[in-house]
Structure 1
Amino acid sequence: MDIDWAALGQVFGVSLVATIALVGVFTLGIVGASSGRTQSAHGGGASVLARTGSYACFALCAAAVAYGIYIITAP
């Protein structure tokens, strides 16, 4: 049995970068959702922008998860 260490390293690197990116985007969504609540008492367009950005971050996370499930289940 022969292990292709270069391919294993590539898979590890891509998985690490994708994980860090997905967690970062989800964190931005949480921060945007929570900052929209604190600014809503003060009014203004900042809370709308923060809420829209957090929805976009959550949609990106959902799309990434759906793509991963598609890749796993594709024939």
Structure 2
Amino acid sequence: MHIDWAALGSVFGVSLVVTVALVGFFTLGIVGLSKGATSTRDGGSGTAAKAGGYLCFALCAAAVAYGISIIVT
């Protein structure tokens, strides 16, 4: 049995970077919606913060959908 350590390391590195990025976008989405709610409560519109939060969640959903499409095909 032969293990291609370079390929294994490459897969590990890419999956680590994608995981950190996905968690980061999800966190930014939560922060954006939170800032939007705080701004709305304080009398502002909070539209930009909410839009940024929804954009981050959309990026997360797109990344998950892309991953599922790779698995299925």
Pairwise same-fold verdict (TM > 0.5)? yes
Out of 6-15 and 32-41, give the one that drifted further. 32-41
Identity %: 68
Report deviation, 1:44. 3.2
Q: Structure 1: which 5+ runs fail to align? A: none
Runs of 4+ with deviation above 2 angstroms: 41-45
Q: Structure 2: which 5+ runs fail to align? A: none
CA root-mean-square deviation: 0.9
How many corresponding residue pairs?
73
Q: Tell me how far apart the structure 2 counterparts of residues 54 and 71 of structure 1 sit (CA, whole Å).
A: 26
1:8 matched to 2:8: yes
Residues 1-75 of structure 1: pairs in structure 2 closer than 5 A: 1-45=1-45, 47-74=46-73
What amino acid is aligned across from residue 11 of structure 1 in structure 2?
V
Report deviation, 1:4. 0.2
The two structures have a TM-score, normalised by structure 1, of: 0.93
